[in-house]
Homo-oligomer: A and B are copies of this chain.
């Protein structure tokens, strides 16, 4: 049995090839020769005993086995970064604080890649990140907005492209296998319409692609009226703009309504209102890392004091 293990540079090559969907492109990205990439991939495939990429005229496309390997490779690389950052931080804390030094919760440092859906990135993360940076200046957060469609932010985490994802969690989109997570806030939907409109129910309802209608469907079923028409827009920002301009009404979650202009009237839907769960998703490895835990702590703290 080949006890050969995969070196980090081999993992990087495989990740780059998947991203570039081409050997020569990956070589350019990595500052290597196309030959080096070809040799490296071949060696990796030999060690694993599996073909990772289907080579074609138009580049290289990963096989199912390759997809898996790449996703894990990204996670390994990320964990190596974490190892280095946390070890350095621990050493620095030890040198500075001297003495027996707090075993945990000392200095936290290193990069933190966050994937979030739009309204969370705009309204939920900024205060949390401000508090995080204030407490731990060494952390370097990086937020990427990901549309909550398909595999959504959880997919980014599963594929190793993010350390933690801010996602909507529900029965129709549970936490995927192999990932861990938790609910941060249960936020209510409200009825929004142009302020001062005499008959908002006569306006067309607008919806947006990311909005999971399953949250509001039950509520609609219990109503004694249905909207005149339903149109669909790009995102919740566009919905808010249309409502603000007086052209539509909508059912929107609280997070999308943060900082809504006064031209938008927000009406609480009462005790039977629909709600959605917003939570975090991360990998089991990262769940143990200091940076991820620190962010979750700040997010939890916000819940009490928004």
Cβ contact within 8 Å between B178 and A94: no
**Residues in B whose Cβ lies below 8 Å from that of A9:** 5
Taking a contact as CB atoms under 8 Å apart, the answer to whether A76 and B80 are in contact is yes
Q: A91 within 8 Å of B by Cβ?
A: yes
Determine whether the beta carbon of A68 is less than 8 Å from that of B50: no
A51 an interface residue at 8 Å Cβ cutoff? yes
Residue A130, interface by CB 8 Å: no
Does A285 lie within 8 Å of B75, measured CB to CB? Answer: yes
**What is the bound-complex CA distance between A235 and B68, given in angstroms?**
43
Within the complex, the shortest CB–CB distance from A179 to chain B, in Å, comes to 7
Asked whether A75 and B64 contact (CB < 8 A) given A50-B91, A51-B91, A90-B50, the answer is: no
The closest CB in chain B to the CB of A6 belongs to B80
In the complex, chain B residues whose CB is within 8 Å of the CB of A289: 178
Cβ contact within 8 Å between B178 and A83:
no
A267 contacts partner chain B, Cβ-Cβ < 8 Å: no
Q: Is the CB of A82 within 8 A of B72?
A: yes
**B86 near A68 (CB under 8 angstroms)?**
yes
Q: A8 contacts which of B5, B90, B94 (Cβ < 8 Å)? A: B5
Judge whether A287 is part of the interface by a CB distance below 8 angstroms: yes
Min distance, Cβ A64 to any Cβ of chain B, angstroms = 5
> What separation, in Å, do the CA atoms of A287 and B9 have in the docked complex?
25
A202 at the interface (CB under 8 A from B): no
Binding site for B on A (CB under 8 A): 5-9, 47-52, 63-69, 72-73, 75-77, 79-80, 82-84, 86-88, 90-91, 93-94, 101, 103-105, 177-180, 283-289
A68-B90, A284-B285 given; 13 more Cβ-contact pairs under 8 Å: A5-B9, A6-B80, A49-B88, A50-B87, A50-B88, A50-B90, A50-B91, A51-B91, A67-B90, A68-B87, A69-B83, A105-B177, A177-B288
